[in-house]
A and B are shown apart, each in its own frame.
Chain A
Amino acid sequence: MSSVASMTISPRDAERYEEKDFGFWLYLMSDAVIFACLFATYLVMVGNAAGGPTPKDVFELDRAAAETALLLLSSTTFGVAAVALSAGDRGKVLLWLAITFLLGAGFIFLEIGEFTGMIAQGAGPDRSGFLSAFFTLVGTHGFHVSVGLVWIVVMFAQVFFKGLTAPVASRFMRLGLFWHFLDIIWVVIFSVVYLPGVL
């Protein structure tokens, strides 16, 4: 942050970035309520397997653990990119953004594999209330991660073409908020959906 702050930005711009950050926080809170509603629904529905597969039958802890590892790692690498940004090292920012993207893409890859596998074995979202809730909750998170991936690509292009200008840096910080937010949601998913499901 320090170098963003020390970039020559006018007090007015600084104020605008602060407003944008605050607005983004509010968006995240609103989004958190969406997830809260989805979690609540999942918890109500988890027993409604309608004679179909139950959590024990469909969750694979290894895969969920691998997904978790990828996502947590991507949050870390994003942090490294942020440090590089503060240092004003554009090359490093690009490098670590790329790594973050790959890790996030790996997560999505695993998740798509998980979903298609489940659908193939007859455990798709139309099988039961439990599976509808599962696919919607985890899928909504996955959708967010995909949006985040697109955003990382856009960010990459902006850093590449525009350099570490103040507006770019300000967007970068919000992307960071978003990415870490998704990480936190995932941790809750892991502990509310997968762990109780397989234990």
Chain B
Amino acid sequence: MFGRLTIDSLPFYSAVAASGAAVTVLGGLAVAGAITYFGAWRMVMTQWVSSVDHKKIGIMYIMLALVMLLRGFVDAAMMRSQQAVAYNSDGYLPPDHFDQIFSSHGTIMIFFMAMPFLSGLANLIVPQQIGSRDVAFPFMNSVSLWLTTAGAGLMLISLVVGKFSTAGWTGYPPYSGVEYTPGVGVDYWLWMVFVAGFGTTMTGINFLVTIIKNRAPGMTMFRLPLFTWTMLITSVLIIFAFPALTVACAMLILDRNFGFHFFTNAMGGNMMNYINLFWLWGHPEVYILILPAFGVFSEVVSTFSQKRLFGYISLVLATCAIGLLSFTVWLHHFFTMGSSAKVNSFFGTMTTIISVPTGVKVFDWLLTMYRGRIIFKPPMLFTIGFLVTFVIGGLSGVLLALPPIDYMMHNTTFLVAHFHNMIIPGVLFGYLAGYMYWFPKAFGFKLNEKWGTRAFWCWIIGFYVAFMPLYVLGMLGMPRRMEHYDIAAWQPHLIVAWVGAFIIMLGMICLGVQLVVSIRERNQALDLTGDPWNGRSLEWATSSPAAPYNFAVVPKVESRDAWWDMKQRGVAYERPAEYEDIVMPKNTYAGVVIGVAGGVFGFAAIWWMWWLALLALVVIAGTIIYRASDDDDEFIMTASEVKAIEDERFAQLAKAPKNEMADEPGFAGNAAPEPAE
């Protein structure tokens, strides 16, 4: 009945594990309690959980990402604390637990922080940037969200029931095989990746179709805003890269649970197959994460330099080139695993070549700032911090791309320093910049700038203090994933790194305070115009938050920087003579049912409760068939309803005639919205 789930699976074997579980359970209860306290269940269920509105789905994705950022950061802080004290001592974490923590940290940060953040920003913004009313498949969008959430849910459950994997975020066999790691940990990892991976693949398909098919008239490919361009390429990468991950995970599941021999050491298995498949996905994945951040930087840099983007075409071409090249370098993740010198030099060269288009981008951003009138709002600070720091990370990456150097450095903390050096300024700063930049679009008020600036300084200083010592440690020969050590020279650096993590913690706190303060003082920071930054692309043409249909009248695009152009031509805030009916998708619970059933399926498969797994599959199939037979999934928003919403918008506009940026020193003074009569 309960498969291999027994009472021993509860985390009472160690105080640290038990308190982690307690925090998780209490956190869940606190959220449920808060919703009950505010009497908000009905609202949550009918307006959020069942929603197919891409803007709401985007907000839920980002909430998920922020929660998981916190969880991932707690893991990181625990590791830093352990390594700071573990010189000639056991520290406070037993080895098995330390291993679970680095595995869950990496897994969370990549799959459940960065990926949802990316999907969230895309959902929030892409349809509006291309002048569309919706994504191509709103229902599938909801399924994607809930499958991703189901994966994250499994992640959190692993803290309470059973143990998590100790095989790192990459899960290399044969260590992750059943012979060396028999428990449920690796199965948790596999199934959560598998379930969330389906959601991601659907997101990729959804956005590729949306961007290709749903653009407003006149929005040619070479007029697409850069963020949309990067999401387009990211979607292509998702569609072509994620299958490799699915296959690798499926095979490892078969090996572990059904005695197959793909990656075992005996019976003709070959673990190198796993490593090839994994990185065939894994390398494109890092570009899946970073390209959208590049898109955010491009938008932010031109808005806050008050200039058009320098080298638009070269940025687009560089994005495409990076997308292509990202499939040709995966082997640099295992230079040391016995390929021939010829193979290694090919992949080393290809890796180095990727730095060319990336360098082009850096110069384009710099030249956009050159002679711009820069306004230093938090998103812009994150962008500048990124530019400086990212170049350092890129240089260390070019070093690692040389196989001889990689032979010295692989699996040392030098590598850990390198990829955090790319992924924190490159990915996380980008997403945080996007979060602060587009927050007013989502909620109708701006985030507090003082706390945003503080968060930035803590993050960037903390980053340097936490990760520069790891470069040194790597050169001193410290392997990654060490639980304790007996080399005195390492400890000072590890203590500095611990201080860095502490400063980053202050950054996390600032982010939290910023959110709370901003919500509390929202009336002082209302964005009535819908265009708080004097923006350039079409998402700023809608009200904040945008109406369910985004655009009452689909805009006609006549140039790049479409919204800027409309403001220049004085047609930005024109009121249409009349409105028309708009067809909208109906809310549905089918998405969340599929998501929950997907999570139950994963849980059942981890614990070998096959009857439950079967039941969950039947529910999923039934829901899909039910949906597929439902020809009545839309409703009509009548012209008069549309008119009512739009009238309100114009009334708001009249109250805020002046562009909010006009008070900024250096404001170029342009195209303030005309008050409606």
Contact = CB atoms under 8 A, between A and B. Distances in A.
Contacts of B628: 154, 171
Contacts of A30: 201, 204-205, 239-240, 242-243
Given A26-B239, A132-B262, A48 B269 contact: yes
A37 B206 CA distance: 23
B643 to A, nearest CB: 21
B244 interface: yes
A165 B632 CA distance: 13
Interface stretch (A17-25, A55-63, A82-90): A17-25
Contacts of B277: 37, 41
Contacts of B251: 41, 132, 136
B interface, over-half SS: helix
B208 interface: yes
B270 A129 contact: yes
B663 interface: no
A148 to B, nearest CB: 13
B629 interface: yes
Nearest to A32: B243
A119 to B, nearest CB: 12
Nearest to A26: B205
A27 B266 CA distance: 36
A171 B280 CA distance: 33
B260 A23 contact: no
B240 A33 contact: yes
Contacts of A41: 247, 251, 262, 273, 277
A145 B254 CA distance: 20
Contact of B259 (A26, A126, A130): A126
B631 A128 contact: no
B644 interface: no
Nearest to B269: A129
- Of listed A41, A49, A128, A171, residue having the most chain B CB within 10 A: A41
B260 A126 contact: yes
A48 B268 contact: yes
A105 interface: no
Given A30-B242, A48-B269, A133-B262, A19 B205 contact: no
Contact of B206 (A12, A23, A131): A23
B45 interface: no
A31 B243 contact: yes
Given A23-B136, A129-B269, A132-B254, A34 B247 contact: yes
B205 A27 contact: yes
B261 interface: yes
Contacts, number: 116
B419 interface: no
Contacts of A49: 268
A79 to B, nearest CB: 22
Interface string B244-281: 10111011001100111110101111100100010010
A167 B625 CA distance: 14
B363 interface: no
B268 A50 contact: yes
Contacts of A136: 250-251, 254, 260, 262
A162 B632 CA distance: 13
A117 B260 CA distance: 18
B178 to A, nearest CB: 12
Interface in A97-142: 125-133, 135-136
Contacts of B268: 45, 48-50, 128-130
A65 interface: no
A135 B266 CA distance: 18
A184 to B, nearest CB: 17
Given A128-B267, A132-B261, A19 B213 contact: yes
B583 interface: yes
B621 interface: yes
A129 B261 contact: yes
A18 B260 contact: no
Contact of A37 (B244, B254, B583): B244
Contacts of B625: 154
A167 B629 CA distance: 9
A20 B136 CA distance: 8
A36 B327 CA distance: 15
A150 interface: yes
- Of listed B204, B250, B629, residue having the most chain A CB within 10 A: B629
B318 interface: no
Contacts of B264: 129
Nearest to B140: A23
Interface string B202-216: 001110110011100
A198 to B, nearest CB: 20
Given A19-B213, A34-B246, A45 B270 contact: yes
B137 interface: yes
B206 A127 contact: no
A49 B266 CA distance: 11
Contacts of B260: 125-126, 132, 135-136
A22 B206 CA distance: 10
A38 B277 CA distance: 10
- Of listed A23, A50, A150, residue having the most chain B CB within 10 A: A23
A187 interface: no
Nearest to A44: B273
Interface in B355-396: none
A158 interface: yes
Contacts of B240: 29-30, 33
Interface string A139-177: 000000000001000100110001001010001000000
Contacts of B583: 12
A53 to B, nearest CB: 12
A126 B137 CA distance: 41
Nearest to B272: A44
- Of listed B208, B250, B264, B267, residue having the most chain A CB within 10 A: B267
A30 B242 CA distance: 8
B590 to A, nearest CB: 15
B261 A50 contact: yes
B239 A29 contact: yes
A50 B264 CA distance: 12
A47 to B, nearest CB: 8
A31 B202 CA distance: 12
A169 to B, nearest CB: 12
B127 to A, nearest CB: 13
B136 A19 contact: yes
Interface string B619-632: 00100010011010
User: 10 closest pairs, A vs B, by CB?
Assistant: A48-B268, A129-B268, A126-B259, A50-B268, A33-B243, A132-B260, A37-B247, A34-B243, A50-B267, A128-B268
Interface of B: 136-137, 201, 204-206, 208-209, 212-214, 239-240, 242-244, 246-248, 250-251, 254-255, 258-262, 264, 266-270, 273, 277, 280, 583, 621, 625, 628-629, 631
29 contacts: A12-B583, A15-B213, A19-B137, A23-B205, A27-B205, A29-B239, A30-B204, A31-B243, A34-B246, A37-B243, A41-B247, A41-B277, A44-B273, A48-B269, A50-B268, A125-B254, A126-B259, A126-B260, A126-B261, A127-B267, A128-B261, A129-B264, A129-B267, A129-B268, A129-B270, A133-B262, A150-B621, A165-B631, A167-B631
Given A19-B213, A129-B268, A157-B629, 18 more contacts: A19-B214, A22-B209, A23-B209, A26-B239, A30-B205, A33-B240, A34-B247, A36-B243, A41-B251, A45-B262, A50-B261, A126-B261, A127-B267, A131-B261, A132-B262, A136-B254, A154-B629, A165-B631
